[in-house]
Structure formats: structure tokens, C-alpha cells
Structure 1
């Protein structure tokens, strides 16, 4: 881990497209401004964990949800009046 000391208004650059600026230091809290290109996702660590858990939950229930949706779809009827799946 790289540990740096910065003052208000000073910045840290990561690569060519991420810049972190110390905007305020007050009552033991540091406020940071982060500049990056649009394709970089920036999340607070606690939100990242929540997103990971939600994605994992969605993945585990996806087959069941798809099968439920598939069973709710109307059936096709051929010229003889026989029903069959639309797949």
C-alpha cells in the first residue's frame, strides 16, 4: 500500500485518467473529489460490497426467475389447433 500525505487542494494521479483531489479536511473527515473518464466506476467500499451481494443474489435466482417467466408466456397454436411452446 502506498501511503501519501496531501493537503487541501493537492491531488494524487492514478494512471492517465484518474485524479483524486483533497477538497476539505474537517473534524477528522477528509472530503475527496475524484475525476475520471466515464468508463471508470467509482463506488465507496461499503456500497461495493452491497452491489456484489445483490449481483450474487440475482445470479443465484436468475434460472428460477427465467423459468417462471417462460412458463407464463402464451403458447403458440398451429393450424391443427395443437399448442406448443413459442421457442
Structure 2
């Protein structure tokens, strides 16, 4: 891990096309700006971890293809049934 000290307004570069700029520092919070190409995914790590955890839970749930198909049919039917009842 590379550890750098930066002040407000200072930047660092990752490769040729990713720039991270310190926008504000207050207490133990730092606001950063990230400039990167559109094809580069930028996610907060806690969001990435939450999605990964949810995906693992879903995989371990062991739902069968038949059950999944049945649930999808129910979801697709639901809006049509609501519209008929109005």
C-alpha cells in the first residue's frame, strides 16, 4: 500500500487517465473527486462488499430453476391482474 499526504486541491494520478483530487478535509472526513474514463468502474468499497455479500447469499439459497421460473411468472402476471381489477 502506498501512503501519501495530500492537501486540499492537490491530486494524484493512477496510470495516465485516473486523477484523484482532494476537495475538502474536515475532521476525520475527506471529500475526494475522481476523474476516470467512463469504462472504469468506481464504487465505494462498502457498496461493492454489500452487493458481493447479497450475491453470495442468493447463490447459497439454492433456489431451483423451476422455482425461479415460477416466481418470474408470478411477477410478470401481477401487473396485468392489477390492471384488470381496476
- By the TM > 0.5 criterion, same fold? yes
Q: Secondary structure at the match of 2:59?
A: helix
Task: Provide the C-alpha distance between the structure 1 equivalents of 2:42 and 2:49, rounded to a whole number of angstroms.
Answer: 13
* Structure-1 residue corresponding to 2:43: 43
Question: What aligned pairs does 1:8-87 form with structure 2 within 5 A after superposition?
Answer: 8-61=8-61, 64-70=63-69
User: Bigger radius of gyration, 1 or 2?
Assistant: 1
Change (3 A) 1:28 1:66: same
Whichever structure has more strand as a proportion of its residues is 1
Gaps of 5+ in 2: 74-86
Q: Secondary structure at the match of 1:34?
A: strand
Whichever structure has more helix as a proportion of its residues is 2
Gaps of 5+ in 1: 74-87
Task: Provide the C-alpha distance between the structure 2 equivalents of 1:36 and 1:45, rounded to a whole number of angstroms.
Answer: 17
Q: Which ranges of 4 or more aligned residues in structure 1 deviate by more than 3 Å?
A: 69-73
Scaled by the length of structure 2, what TM-score is found?
Answer: 0.67
* Structure-2 residue corresponding to 1:76: none
Shift of 1:21: 0.4
Shift of 1:58: 2.9
Q: Quote the RMSD (CA, aligned, Å).
A: 2.2
